[in-house]
Chains A and B, each alone.
Chain A
Amino acid sequence: MEILFQQIVSGLATGGIYGSVALALVMIYQATDVVNYAQGEMAMFSTYLAWSMMNAGVPYWAAFFGTLVVSFVGGLLIERIVIRPVEGKPVLTIVIVCIGLLVIFNSVAGWIYSYIQKPFPSPFPPRPIMLGTVVFGAHDVGAILVTLIVLACLYAFFRYTTLGLAMRAAAQNPASSRLCGIRVGWMLAIGWGLAAMVGAVAGMMVAPIVFLDPNMMAGILIYAFASATLGGFTSPGGAVIGGLIVGVIENIVGTYVSFIGTELKLTVALAVILVVLVFKPSGLFGRPAVHRV
C-alpha cells in the first residue's frame, strides 16, 4: 500500500510536468490549429539557459524567473519571425516548420552544451517528506505545487484580465476580434510566449529527475501528446488532468506489470493515444470537432 501511494505521488509529479507541456501544446493548438512539435525542445533549451545562469553563479529562483522572462520573449520572437510567414498556409507547411524548429533547437543545444548529461538542481530540500509511514520525495511534492501555481496563474490570467480575454477571443473568432480592435497577430505571438514559459517551468521541474541533456524532452513530449489527447486538445484543463492521469498510469503500470518495467513505459503513452483515438477521439473533456460542409 505504501508503495502504491508513493507511486501515485511521484506519478502526479511527473504527470503534472506532462500536463504542463500538454497545456503549452493545447494553448497553441487552440489559437492556431497547429500542434507545436518543437514545444519540448523549446522547453529543453530554456532549461539549458537556466543551467547557464546557475553555472554563472545566479541563485536558483533568480535564474528560474530570469529563464521565464527569456523564454517568453523567445517564444514571442519565434512566432513573429518563423511562424508568422507561414500563417494561413496549409497545416502540413506549419508542421514541417515546427519539426524544423525541433531539429534546430536540439542540434544547437548539443553544439553549445554537448550531449553529455548534466545534473540539474532542484529548489526543494533533498530530505524526503514523511507522511505517516509513507515517504515522499520533496522534489515530487514541490513539482506538483509548482505546476498547480502555474495553472492557477494562467487560469487567473485568461479568466480575469482583459488581455487574457482578448487572447481567448482571438483564438475563437479572429474576424470578430479584429472588429473589436484586437491585434490578432500579436495575441498569437503572446500565446507562443506564454506556451514557451509554461514549457520552461516543465523543463526545469523535470530536469532534476531525468538529468539535463538535449534529448530529455523527447519522451516527455510523447507523454504530453498522450495527455493532451486524453484530456482533449480543445480543453486546457483537460490537458492537465490528462497529464496527471497519464503520469499515474505510467508509474503504476511500470511498477505492477512486471514485463513493462521501466523499459516499456513509453509504450503506455502510445497505448493511451491509440485507445483514446479509437474510442473517444475528442478526449475526455474536449469538444468534438464540427465542420460545416
Chain B
Amino acid sequence: MAALLEARGLHAQYGWTKVLHGLDFAVEEGGITTILGANGAGKTTTLRAVCGMVRTAGEVRFDGRDIAGRATEDIVRLGIAHVPEGRGTFVNLTVDENLRLGAYGRSSRTGIAEDFEAVYRYFPVLASRKRQVAGTLSGGEQQMLAVARALMLRPRLLLLDEPSLGLAPMVVREIFRIVRTINRERRVSVLLVEQNAAIALGLADQAYLMETGRIVQSGPAAQLRENDAIRRAYLGY
C-alpha cells in the first residue's frame, strides 16, 4: 500500500518554543494510523502541523504533493478533514448549518444531498436534532457532529484529535465503531491521536508512540499492544 500522508523531519514551533523535533510518520491509503502519547507529547501539534496551523519545517506529503507551508484552507480543500481538539463546533449555528459548513470546502458540489443522508444514517441522533443549535448538544453529540462535519468534506484523510476526551466509555465505543465503519465503507484513511491507548490500538493498524516531540516507537498496532513497556506505561496492566 502506498502512503497517503507522509511526514519527514517534521518540526513545529509556537513562537520560540519548539514542540516537534523531526517526526517521521506515514498514513497508509485506506488504513487507520494512531499516534499515542501522554499529555504534552505533541500529538495535537502534529495534527496542527499537517494542516498548516502552526509554523513548521520539514516535509509533509499528501498523495505525493508537498503541502508543508500551505494555508490551512487550501490543505483542507485537498481532502484533509481535521476534527480538532475541543471539536470546533459552531455553537451558535444549527446542526444542519454546521454540516453545510463541512461541505463548504469540498472539491465537487455533486453528491452533497447523498452525503447528508449518509451522515444522518451514521449518526441518527443528529438527524433528530437538525434544527437544534449545536451549542445545546451534549458532549458526545458534539463529538459526533464534529466527525459528521468532517465527513461532509468527503475527505480522503480524516484527522481525529482525541475524540474520546471527556466522554463516557459507551459514547467513546460508539464513536470508534462509526469511525471504523466510515474507514471501511467510504475508504477514508484515518490519522487518530489519542491518550486512550487501549481503544486506539484496538482500532488502528499502524501505531506510533510519541514522547516530548519525538517518535520513540512505531510498528503494527497489534505488535505495540504486546510490547511490555507500552503495556505498563499506557495500558495500565
Contact A176 B104 (CB under 8 A): no
Q: With a CB–CB cut-off of 8 A, which chain A residues contact B51?
A: 179
* Interface hits, A134-188 → B, CB 8 Å: 162, 165-166, 168-169, 172-173, 175-184
Contact present for B149 and A180 (CB under 8 Å): yes
Minimal beta-carbon separation of B159 from chain A (angstroms): 9
Report how many residues on chain B are interfacial, defined by Cβ distance under 8 Å.
25
Q: Which residues of B contact A175 (CB under 8 A)?
A: 53, 84, 88
- Cβ contact within 8 Å between B153 and A181: yes
- State whether the Cβ of B117 lies closer than 8 Å to any Cβ in chain A: no
B122 at the interface (CB under 8 A from A): no
Interface flags, B113-155, vs A, CB<8A=1, else 0: 0000000000000000000000000000000000001000100
B82-126 near A? 1/0 per residue, CB < 8 Å: 101000111111000100111011100000000000000000000
| Chain A, Cβ-Cβ closest to B52 | A178
Q: Which residues of B contact A166 (CB under 8 A)?
A: 101, 104
Chain A: minimal CB distance from B127 (Å) = 20
Q: Do B101 and A165 touch (CB < 8 A)?
A: yes
Chain B contacts of A162 at CB under 8 A?
Answer: 100, 104
Instruction: Tell me the complex Cα distance, A173–B134, Å.
Output: 13
Bound: A172/B97 CA distance, A? 13
The answer to whether residues A172 and B92 also contact, given A166-B101, A180-B76 and a CB cut-off of 8 A, is yes
Separation of A169 and B72 alpha carbons in the complex (Å): 16
A3 to B135, CA, bound (A): 48
Contact (Cβ within 8 A) A181 B77:
yes
Q: How many angstroms from the CA of A183 to the CA of B104 in the assembled complex? A: 10
Is there an interface contact between A181 and B88, defined as CB atoms closer than 8 Å? no
Pair B93/A179 contact, Cβ less than 8 Å: no
Kindly state the separation between the CA atoms of A175 and B54 in the bound complex, as whole angstroms. Answer: 12
B56-88 residues with Cβ-Cβ distance < 8 A to A are 71-73, 76-77, 81-82, 84, 88
Of the candidates B71, B77, B84, B106, the one whose C-beta lies within 8 Å of that of A176 is B84
Residues in chain A near residue B100, CB distance under 8 A = 162, 165
Pick the contact of B93: A172, A178, A182, A183 (CB < 8 A): A172
Q: A169-B101, A172-B92, A173-B90 are in contact. Are A182 and B73 (CB under 8 A)?
A: yes
A178 touches B97 (CB 8 A): no
Contact among A168, A169, A172, A179 with B76 in the assembled complex (CB-CB below 8 Å): A179
A residues 200-223 in Cβ contact with B at 8 Å? none
Task: Give chain A nearest CB distance to B88 CB in angstroms.
Answer: 4
- Nearest-neighbour CB distance to chain A for B144, whole angstroms, equals 16
Q: In the complex, are the beta carbons of B73 and A173 less than 8 A apart?
A: no
B88–A173 contact, CB under 8 A? Answer: yes
- Cα distance A145–B101 when bound, in Å? 33
* Contact partners of A173 in chain B: CB under 8 A: 88, 90-91
Beta-carbon contacts of A215-233 to B below 8 Å, as 1s and 0s?
0000000000000000000
Q: With CB as the reference atom, state the residue of chain A lying closest to B74.
A: A181
For the complex, give the distance between the alpha carbons of A175 and B149 in Å. Answer: 14
B84 to A177, Cβ gap below 8 A? no
CB pair B105–A168 under 8 Å, yes or no, is: no
Q: Are B104 and A180 in contact (CB under 8 A)?
A: yes
In the bound complex, residues from chain A placing their C-beta under 8 Å from that of B82 are 179
Q: In the complex the two chains form, is A172's CB within 8 Å of B101's CB?
A: no
Contacts of A165 in B (CB 8 A): 93, 97, 100-101
Contacts of A169 in B (CB 8 A): 90, 93, 101
**What residue of chain B has the Cβ atom nearest to residue A177's Cβ?**
B101
8 A Cβ contacts from B165-199 to A? none
CB-CB under 8 A from B91, the residues of chain A are: 172-173
When chains A and B are docked, how far (Å) is the Cα of A181 from the Cα of B76?
5
A181 — which chain B residues lie within 8 A by C-beta? 73, 76-77, 104-106, 153
Q: How distant is the Cα of A182 from the Cα of B73 in the complex, in angstroms?
A: 6
A181 to B93, CA, bound (A): 17
B92 touches A180 (CB 8 A): no
Q: Closest residue to B100 on the A side, CB-wise?
A: A165
List 12 A-B residue pairs with CB atoms under 8 Å apart, sorted by A's residue number: A165-B101, A169-B93, A172-B90, A176-B84, A176-B88, A178-B53, A179-B51, A179-B81, A181-B106, A182-B104, A183-B73, A184-B73
Mark A residues whose CB is within 8 Å of B. Answer: 162, 165-166, 168-169, 172-173, 175-184
The 6 A-B residue pairs with the shortest CB-CB distance in the complex, in nearest-first order:
A181-B105, A176-B88, A181-B76, A178-B72, A180-B101, A181-B77
Known: A168-B93, A173-B88. 8 other contacts (CB 8 A): A165-B93, A166-B104, A169-B93, A177-B101, A178-B71, A179-B51, A179-B82, A182-B105
